[in-house]
Amino acid sequence: MVVEGIFDGTAVRPLEPLELEPNQRVFIDIPQKKFSALEQQKIDEKIAAIDDIFGMLTPEEEKIYDETVSKKLNFNERITV
């Protein structure tokens, strides 16, 4: 279940009623902030430069790139599968 809510400075308040028991434990996954306009512009410029050198990305590669950028993956981290 995905629930949208607002953090009021103390607690996360859901925008819709939830069918949960009082005091039921939940896990909240906070998405990372989106890139600022300047950050996105710099990223787009770098991708354009790479594209000029290596050619166009396939639709599948574009999807993977978009997912990677949105998650701000660090390629120096060890990934456990």
74: DSSP letter: -
- CB of 10 closer than 8 Å to CB of 19: no
Question: What pLDDT, on a 0 to 100 scale, did the predictor assign at position 77?
Answer: 57
Could you please report the per-residue DSSP string of 12-71?
EEESS-----TT------PPPPPPPHHHHHHHHHHHHHHHHHH-PPPHHHHHHHHHHHHH
Per-residue pLDDT tens digits for 51-74: 776 666 777 887 887 777 777 655
Q: How many domains does the chain have?
A: 1
Range 20-35 average pLDDT:
84
Per-residue pLDDT tens digits for 3-26: 888 889 888 899 999 999 999 998
Question: What pLDDT, on a 0 to 100 scale, did the predictor assign at position 49?
Answer: 79
